[in-house]
């Protein structure tokens, strides 16, 4: 199961990986918090079930969290991958899927957590940043790190250029880490 908010290029990489016969996971559904997220169209074009849960359509954040936990249960995934999902997960989702919730982040955590990781790394003037795949806990990008890969910051980089270079690395890191996670913890995963 993949959750996303945006372009969905990481989700696309995961879907392409699952096309290989020897990849140990498949994607059972794709969910988003924005109806216009292009990643949803990609999932639909592959015939995958999709759902959209907007926070604004719920009385409060706790109700949205419970609804999301309900959607996840309905699709019964073994693992939930947040691939550019720009919302913090709440206690209902953490209770249902804690330890099986993965997130990918465009920085070398614990450096530069939060929604502006690439911008923050550029502003700090670090010579390298990178990508991290980690377990989700109640904090902001604070869960156990599963895998990381460094990416150099190059002269002339702006946020868009650096983020694109990170995402090239991040796509491969995510597909590899999901594969090793499900192989280690599960007998195949959805």
Closest approach, Cβ 132 to ligand GRF, in A, equals 9
Closest approach, Cβ 155 to ligand GRF, in A, equals 22
Q: How many CA atoms lie within 13 A of 86 on its CB side?
A: 11
In degrees and rounded to multiples of 5, residue 129 shows phi and psi of -135, -145
The span from the CA of 171 to the CA of 187, in Å, is: 23
128, 148 in Cβ contact below 8 A? no
Cα–Cα–Cα angle for 148, 48, 178, nearest 5°? 20
134 is catalytic: no
DSSP 3-state assignment of 97?
A: helix
Closest approach, Cβ 5 to ligand GRF, in A, equals 7
Select the residue interacting with ligand GRF from 31, 43, 87, 105 (CB under 6 A).
105
- x/- mask, ligand GRF, residues 148-177, rule CB under 6 A, reads -------------------x--x-------
**Contact positions vs ligand GRF (CB under 6 A):** 6-11, 83-84, 104-106, 167, 170
Catalytic residues: 105
**Which residues carry a binding-site annotation for (6R)-10-formyltetrahydrofolate?**
61, 86-89, 103
């Amino acid at each position: 199961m993949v959750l996303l908010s945006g372009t969905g290029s990481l989700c696309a990489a995961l879907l392409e990986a699952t096309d290989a016969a020897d990849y140990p996971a498949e994607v059972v559904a794709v969910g988003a918090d924005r109806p216009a997220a292009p990643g949803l169209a990609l999932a639909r074009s592959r015939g995958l079930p999709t759902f959209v849960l907007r926070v604004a359509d719920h009385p409060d954040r706790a109700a949205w969290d419970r609804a999301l936990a309900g959607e996840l249960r309905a699709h019964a995934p073994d693992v939930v991958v947040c691939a550019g999902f720009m919302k913090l997960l709440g206690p209902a989702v953490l209770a249902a899927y804690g330890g099986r919730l993965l997130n990918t982040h465009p920085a070398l955590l614990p450096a530069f957590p939060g929604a502006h990781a690439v911008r923050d790394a550029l502003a700090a003037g670090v010579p390298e940043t990178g990508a991290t795949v980690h377990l989700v806990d109640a904090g902001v990008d604070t869960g156990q790190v599963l895998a990381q890969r460094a990416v150099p910051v190059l002269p002339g980089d702006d946020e868009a250029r650096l983020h694109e270079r990170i995402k090239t690395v991040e796509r491969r890191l995510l597909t590899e880490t999901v594969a090793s996670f499900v192989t280690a913890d599960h007998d195949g995963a959805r």
